């Protein structure tokens, strides 16, 4: 191998640059002007609202109207549940209770067996919700819109000690909190990461929860999400001021808009959906099994009796909700489904769903927090207990002042 002289190196660099670099006068195109309009607050905020509208509208039409209500409910309630109830022996046995659930149930929501509610929630509700969520998310990501959303959200998120890119884990959290916790690593300081993890674990409902809420309380989902986002901003503001640490500025590189390619979108969609299914389905099935065992051993009843005064007096919800709230540690989506079977006023249902959301993170998120270290987890639990107590009480107070609680 011969070494090149300085002149030869320069000549080689010139030759490469001559072939690789194009020079000329750059003309501003319509795509550039559109790109600028989506970053400018005056025009960018309406666009952001339109994108979020489309995101939620597509999510609810596909996951709610088409997949779950259109096909899965019929498949599970009219075919799977009656078949399972007819072939599984001895409805009074423990195994029947654990795997099929209530022998008198006429729908999978109320059966609460591993093979009835567990399968229905994971396949009938969560799978379509996660599929359409990741599809729309990938299209937004690949089109180059997400960095623009980060620029727009930057001013707002700075007020709570975060920066624009915090919007990425926030949106990811609407699919599943587990990758959202991982995505907080794009934030610079320990303070920002701790704040974001805690706020996600408390205030961002996952796709499974959203899917169940859409099926159980469709008329209140908007109000629930608004209350959660309000809590996110309120407690973010306090965390930012109370916690020690820095909130540094960042530079965001905004790429040009690009047409998403089918190959990229389908590859990302497959990897994300399969990854979610591998993590979520075993958790849902195991969660139902453990909850049923806790009911069988009387643990949930004992906890309900012990905690009922706090829930009734401080949060204003019926004592029957304590069981689902304890079970929410294993699966929040299942807890919302369990709440739907308890007779409650509209306010009590709203308050209970909020409590399920802001209550302890689900066990998968808990494990992710644990991976960040005991210090992070301990701090998050302390913050979480304070927030649940304060925000839950605040919602009850607001309900009493409005005369609905």
User: Rounded distance, CA 17 to CA 27, Å?
Assistant: 22
Q: Pick the closer one to other proteins by CB: 79 or 267.
A: 79
75 near other proteins, judged by CB under 8 A: yes
255 near other proteins, judged by CB under 8 A: no
Task: Report DSSP state, residue 316.
Answer: -
233 near other proteins, judged by CB under 8 A: no
Least separation in angstroms between residue 363's CB and other proteins is: 31
Residue 277's contacts (CB-CB under 8 Å, 6 or more residues apart) are 122, 127, 130
Task: Report DSSP state, residue 298.
Answer: T
**Which one among 71, 230, 237, 389 touches other proteins, defined by CB under 8 A?**
71
37 near other proteins, judged by CB under 8 A: yes
Residue for token pair 């587990």: 178
222 near other proteins, judged by CB under 8 A: yes
User: Rounded distance, CA 199 to CA 206, Å?
Assistant: 13
Least separation in angstroms between residue 356's CB and other proteins is: 22
50 near other proteins, judged by CB under 8 A: yes
258 near other proteins, judged by CB under 8 A: no
Least separation in angstroms between residue 46's CB and other proteins is: 4
**Which one among 39, 58, 186, 363 touches other proteins, defined by CB under 8 A?**
58
| DSSP codes of every residue in 34-102 | HHHHTTSHHHHHHHHHHHHHHHHHHHIIIIIIIIIIIIIHHIIIIIIHHHHHHHSS-TTSHHHHHHTB-
**Which one among 13, 15, 54, 274 touches other proteins, defined by CB under 8 A?**
54
**Which one among 4, 12, 13, 74 touches other proteins, defined by CB under 8 A?**
74
Residue for token pair 């909850």: 291
**Which one among 8, 14, 65, 106 touches other proteins, defined by CB under 8 A?**
65
Query: Is 140:51 a contact under the CB 8 Å cutoff?
Result: yes
Alpha helices in 243-373 (DSSP H): 262-296, 299-309, 322-327, 332-339, 346-358, 363-371
Q: Pick the closer one to other proteins by CB: 48 or 349.
A: 48
Q: Pick the closer one to other proteins by CB: 71 or 237.
A: 71
Least separation in angstroms between residue 53's CB and other proteins is: 6
Residue for token pair 């259109």: 70
82 near other proteins, judged by CB under 8 A: no
What 3-state DSSP class applies to 112? Answer: strand
Q: What are phi and psi of 275, to 5 degrees?
A: -60, -45
83 near other proteins, judged by CB under 8 A: no
Q: In Å, what is the CA distance from 137 to each residue of 51, 241, 259, 281, 351?
A: 11, 32, 14, 21, 29
66 near other proteins, judged by CB under 8 A: yes
Stretch that binds other proteins, among 27-35, 187-195, 236-244, 246-254 (CB under 8 A): 27-35
Burial degree of 3 (CB within 10 A; 0-12, 13-18, 19+): exposed
Stretch that binds other proteins, among 3-11, 32-40, 85-93, 109-117 (CB under 8 A): 32-40
Stretch that binds other proteins, among 69-77, 149-157, 196-204, 281-289 (CB under 8 A): 69-77
257 near other proteins, judged by CB under 8 A: no
30 near other proteins, judged by CB under 8 A: yes
Burial degree of 378 (CB within 10 A; 0-12, 13-18, 19+): exposed
28 near other proteins, judged by CB under 8 A: yes
Stretch that binds other proteins, among 41-49, 173-181, 264-272, 372-380 (CB under 8 A): 41-49
Q: In Å, what is the CA distance from 299 to each residue of 99, 337, 364?
A: 19, 20, 22
**Which one among 4, 34, 385, 397 touches other proteins, defined by CB under 8 A?**
34
User: Rounded distance, CA 195 to CA 236, Å?
Assistant: 7
Q: Pick the closer one to other proteins by CB: 10 or 71.
A: 71
Query: Is 360:325 a contact under the CB 8 Å cutoff?
Result: no
Under the rule (CB under 8 A), what is the footprint of other proteins? Answer: 28-30, 33-34, 36-38, 43, 46-47, 49-51, 53-54, 56-58, 61-62, 65-66, 69-71, 73-75, 78, 222
């Amino acid at each position: 191998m011969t070494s090149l002289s300085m002149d030869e190196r320069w000549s080689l660099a010139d030759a490469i640059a001559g072939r690789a670099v194009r020079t000329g006068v750059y003309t501003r195109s319509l795509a550039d002007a559109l790109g600028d309009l989506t970053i400018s607050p005056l025009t960018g905020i309406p666009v952001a609202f339109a994108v979020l509208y489309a995101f939620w509208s597509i999510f609810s039409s596909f996951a709610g109207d088409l997949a779950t209500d259109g096909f899965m409910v019929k498949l599970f309630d009219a075919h799977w549940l009656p078949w399972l109830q007819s072939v599984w022996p001895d409805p009074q046995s423990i195994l029947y209770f654990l795997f099929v659930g209530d022998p008198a149930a006429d729908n999978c929501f109320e059966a609460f067996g591993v093979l009835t509610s567990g399968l229905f929630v994971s396949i009938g509700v969560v799978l379509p919700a996660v599929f359409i969520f990741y599809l729309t998310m990938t299209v937004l990501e690949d089109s180059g819109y997400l960095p623009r959303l980060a620029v727009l959200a930057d001013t707002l998120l700075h007020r709570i000690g975060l920066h624009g890119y915090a919007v990425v884990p926030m949106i990811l959290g609407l699919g599943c909190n587990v990758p959202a916790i991982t995505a907080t690593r794009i934030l610079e300081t320990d303070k920002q990461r701790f704040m974001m993890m805690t706020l996600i674990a408390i205030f961002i409902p996952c796709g499974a929860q959203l899917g169940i809420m859409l099926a159980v309380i469709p008329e209140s989902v908007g109000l629930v999400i608004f209350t959660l986002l309000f809590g996110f901003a309120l407690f973010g503001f306090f965390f930012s001021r109370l916690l020690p640490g820095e909130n540094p500025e960042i530079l965001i590189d905004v790429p040009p808009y690009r047409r998403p390619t089918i190959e990229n979108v389908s590859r990302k969609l497959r990897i994300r959906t399969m990854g979610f299914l591998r993590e979520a389905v075993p958790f849902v099935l195991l969660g139902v099994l453990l909850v049923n065992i806790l009911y069988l051993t009387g643990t949930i009843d004992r906890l309900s009796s012990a905690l009922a005064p706090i829930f009734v007096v401080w949060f204003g919800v019926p004592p029957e909700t304590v069981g689902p709230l304890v079970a929410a540690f294993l699966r929040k989506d299942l807890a919302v489904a369990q709440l739907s079977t308890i007779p409650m006023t509209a306010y009590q249902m709203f308050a209970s769903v909020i409590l399920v959301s802001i209550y302890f993170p689900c066990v998968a998120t808990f494990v992710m927090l644990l991976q960040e270290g005991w210090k992070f987890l301990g701090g998050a639990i302390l913050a979480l207990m304070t927030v649940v107590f304060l925000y839950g009480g605040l919602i009850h107070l607001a309900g009493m002042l409005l005369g609905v609680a």
